[in-house]
């Protein structure tokens, strides 16, 4: 633990930064089983936002484990540390007035709650999106062949098979990916963001 450290305040407040840059920064936090559609939806959402001239940036589970979190595994403590670091990084992106779009299984309710609290304490909105599909469906999709390996005992502590998934109780957005298309899922998110004035409808309409 570092001691003798002092926070150095910037010269530009969060609201001034947002008004100078003409958009709000916040975090969209996807959670759900592997193959529930987090990365697919996050990628399509990021594209829609960028094509509308709105700054957005994805932080994706596997990608982050190639770099920042390459020293972490999948046991409970490492999963918690994984999410803690991502929460901090997402908050930094959001504070810098970008829309941080995270896609991590983030199976523990308490970890997601900590991510939310970290954002809310800094006055940064946190939008939890539950990418939801039944286990039978995600096992069937299995785009990376992970469920097959997990069931064969080749992957230990695999969420949904040999590790728990705690579904969100009150996510801001609940997308049933076995019932709607990717485009409909993205639209559900966009509609929410516009209704909460987190993105400007004008920008989306102009570039659509
Ligand atoms: N409505 C939908 N929304 C999202 N994905 C869908 C939908 N319908 C089918 N799919 C398919 O489901 C799969 C979801 O895989 P994806 O990699 O996005 O999952 P993930 O939640 O990011 O998994 P992981 O936690 O392993 O990274 C893809 O093959 C995608 O094409
Ligand atoms: Mg993914």
Sign of CA dihedral 191, 109, 60, 148: negative
pLDDT at 207: 57
Listed by start position, the domains of the chain span: 24-134+166-198
Is residue 67 a contact partner of residue 58, using CB atoms and an 8 Å limit?
no
36 is catalytic: no
CB atoms within 10 A of CB 197: 9
**Digitized pLDDT (tens) for each residue of the chain, 208 residues in all:** 889 999 999 999 999 999 999 999 999 999 999 999 999 999 999 999 999 999 999 999 889 999 999 999 989 999 999 999 999 999 999 999 999 999 999 999 999 999 999 999 999 999 999 999 999 999 999 999 999 999 999 999 999 999 999 999 999 999 999 999 999 999 999 999 999 999 999 998 765 5
The whole-angstrom separation of Cα 157 and Cα 177 is: 24
Q: Which atom of ligand 1 is nearest to the CA of 105?
A: 25
Q: What is the whole-number distance in angstroms between the Cα of residue 8 and the centre of ligand 2?
A: 36
Contacts of 105 (CB under 8 A, 6+ apart): 31, 32, 33, 34, 38, 61, 159, 165
The whole-angstrom separation of Cα 206 and Cα 173 is: 25
pLDDT at 208: 53
pLDDT at 1: 83
pLDDT at 61: 87
CATH class of 24-134+166-198: alpha beta
Of 175, 89, 187, whose CA–CA distance to 128 is shortest? 175
Strands 26-31 and 56-60, sheet pairing: unpaired
Going from the C-alpha of 30 to that of each of 13, 21, 23, the distances in angstroms are 28, 25, 21
**Would you say the CB of residue 185 lies under 6 angstroms from ligand 1?**
yes
pLDDT at 44: 98
**Taking the model in full, what pTM does it have?**
0.96
Q: What is the whole-number distance in angstroms between the Cα of residue 63 and the centre of ligand 1?
A: 15
The whole-angstrom separation of Cα 177 and Cα 164 is: 20
Is residue 37 a contact partner of residue 131, using CB atoms and an 8 Å limit?
yes
């Amino acid at each position: 633990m570092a001691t003798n450290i002092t926070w150095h305040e910037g010269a530009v407040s969060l609201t001034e930064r947002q008004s100078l840059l003409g958009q709000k920064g916040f975090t969209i936090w996807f959670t759900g089983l592997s193959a529930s559609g987090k990365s697919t939806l996050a990628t399509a959402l990021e594209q829609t936002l960028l094509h509308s001239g709105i700054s957005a940036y994805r932080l994706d589970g596997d990608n982050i484990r190639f770099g920042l979190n390459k020293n972490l595994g999948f046991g409970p403590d490492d999963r918690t540390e994984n999410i803690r670091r991502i929460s901090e990084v997402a908050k930094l992106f959001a504070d810098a007035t970008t829309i941080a779009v995270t896609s991590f299984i983030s199976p523990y309710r308490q970890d997601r709650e900590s991510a939310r609290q970290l954002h809310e304490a800094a006055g940064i909105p946190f939008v939890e999106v539950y990418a939801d599909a039944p286990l039978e469906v995600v096992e069937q999709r299995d785009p990376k062949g992970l469920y097959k390996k997990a069931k064969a005992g080749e992957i230990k502590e695999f969420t949904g098979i040999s590790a728990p998934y705690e579904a969100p109780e009150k996510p801001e957005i609940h997308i049933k990916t076995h019932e709607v298309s990717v485009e409909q899922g993205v639209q559900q998110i966009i509609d929410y963001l516009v209704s909460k004035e987190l993105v400007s409808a004008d920008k989306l309409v102009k570039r659509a």
